[in-house]
Every structure is written in structure tokens, then in C-alpha cells.
Amino acid sequence: MKVEYRNASDAHAQLPKLDTNKAPWLRRARPYLILAPALLLTIGILYPFIVAVFYSFTNYSFKYPNFKFVGLKNWISMFKEASFWHSLSVTIRYALWSTGIETLLGFGVALLLNRDNFLSRLLRTVLIFPLMIAPVIATLIWQLMTNASVGIISFWLRNIGITNFTWGADPKTALFSVVLIDIWVNTPFMILLILAGLRSLPQAPFEAAMLDGGSPWFTFKTLTLPLIMPALLIAVIFRLMLALQEYAIIFALTRGGPGDTLMSLTLTAYTEAFTYKELGTSLPYMLVLWIIIYIMSKYMIKYWGNAQKRASGI
């Protein structure tokens, strides 16, 4: 049966009333329930960090059940060791070389693939393959390809007159070898991120520049580069932070050798903790790495914010 109302107030009066007093505790708890996942994640991150800071001021060792507080002894000893400064140098050089080359290659290839044709779509799919391979497996593949007797790369080098290339067995070429593997594994990551940024750029400014007769170099310099800079910086930040922490490729290829040539901060900390069983002396190495990553990421994110404002015309 259809019910007719004389006006809107009569119709509103007939609507069912919501009980606003029902379960008031649920309303009060709702903000905390929403924040609970973030709070748990924060606790999960901060707890190991705080524990690491605490044990870095102790002589904690896996060899003995008891430990005691030693203050800054571990930190002072670390800064006095020549191995620490060598590890710091290896870490920074590896990160800068790998990230720099991957950024240049990624940007160049992304510009070439920023087209809608069959070849570009095919190459975008093929570029994902190295990302599916674990760094350790990629390193083993490269060891096979660079094998002096059966390696395909060694075969090509012999054809152009280069024989007995030592790769990771020589201190002069060890860093080059691990950086080369890192480039092969991680350049597709840079390409995909930068390509996603290029595909998201507005087309109106480029069409206007084309109508005004702007040259390709002028369009790239005044439009493409400023607009893509935020996406480019995001890719660099991600890649640089991971490169500073790199462990798998170096360990799988040379285990930090030959000698101590590639003993980065992560490998030195691993050796101190799990070879010499001295956790207290290994943690300062990782905390120094955390400080470096924190400082670099802080300033790069600030620069990214400024680049985003410039790209938006602010």
C-alpha cells in the first residue's frame, strides 16, 4: 500500500531512528583501530632498531652467555680500524657507480620505449625478466657466462682479442664485475619506474611545443626533464637505498674478496657477527649504514619535494 505524506517533514519523521548511544566504546575506539596496523608496523620496525642500538654498547658475543655494558668502546674501536674506512669506501663507491649507471641507462631506454608500437610493448615485457631472478641466481648465471672455458662472454671477448679477463678474481676488476651484475639485474627496475613517469606526463604542453615548432632538444630540456624529475628522483632514491645495503651479489661472487677488496659495511658486519661471533662489534657497522641512508634519503626527499613543486608550476 502506498503511503502519502503531506510534506517532507512528515516523511522524515517516519524514518527509523538511529541509536547514537549504542556501543559508545566502539566509536571511541574507532580511531585507534584504524591506526592499529600502522602502530604495529612502527613497533615492528623500532623494536629491532632499539635492540641493535643497545647491544652496540655491549660486548655481546655468541660465544659467551653473559655480556656487559662497555659504552662507546665498540664505536671507538670501529672508527680506529682501517677496515671500517675501507668498507665505507667500498659501500659508497658501489652504490654511486651502480645507481648512476642504472639511472642513465634506465632514462635513455625509457625514452626509447615511450612509444606505442609492437616492439616497445614486447621489450617492456622482456625487461621484466631480470627482475624475476634473485640476485644470487643472477650472480651464478654471470659466473657461468664469464667462465674462461665455457662462458659466452669470455668467448666474445676472445674474438675481439681480450683473453684471460680476471673478472672478480682480480682486485682491479672486482668492483667492475659486481657493478656490472647489479646493472644487469636492476636497470629494468629503473626503466619501468621512469617509463611509468613518462607515460603519466600531460600531453598538452608537448603538443603546444610541437605546434610552435620546438626542436626535440628544446622539448626535452624545457618540458620532459623538469616534468619527469620527480619520478626520476623517486627511482634514484629507491635504487640508491638498496645499493647501499647490497649484500647478495658481492657475497655470491667473491665473498668480499679477493682479500678484502669488496668488504662493504654489510659484509663486514656479517663477518663480525656470524664468522667471529661478535655481535656487539658488528652492530656499529650497520648503524653507521643506517645513518648514511637516513641522511641521504632525507635530503633527497626534500629535493624531490622541491622538484615536484617546480614540475607543478609552484
DSSP of 263-294: --HHHHHHIIIIIS--HHHHHHHHHHHHHHHH
Distances (CA, A) of 213 to 87, 208, 226: 53, 9, 19
pLDDT at site 18: 45
Q: In the chain, which stretches have pLDDT less than 70?
A: 1-23, 313-314
pLDDT at site 20: 46
pLDDT at site 183: 92
Kindly give, in sequence order, each residue whose CB lies less than 8 Å from that of residue 154, ignoring residues fewer than 6 positions away. 145, 146, 147, 148, 165
pLDDT at site 130: 78
Domains delineated in the chain: 75-311 (1.10.3720.10)
Distance separating alpha carbons of residues 144 and 35, to the nearest angstrom:
50
pLDDT at site 268: 92
pLDDT at site 31: 78
Which residue reads 603519466 in cell numbers? Answer: 200
pLDDT at site 9: 54
pLDDT at site 258: 86
Distance separating alpha carbons of residues 112 and 37, to the nearest angstrom:
42
pLDDT at site 107: 92
Start-end of H helices in the chain: 8-13, 24-55, 73-80, 82-113, 118-126, 135-145, 152-159, 171-199, 204-211, 216-219, 225-244, 248-253, 265-270, 279-311
pLDDT at site 16: 53
pLDDT at site 124: 77
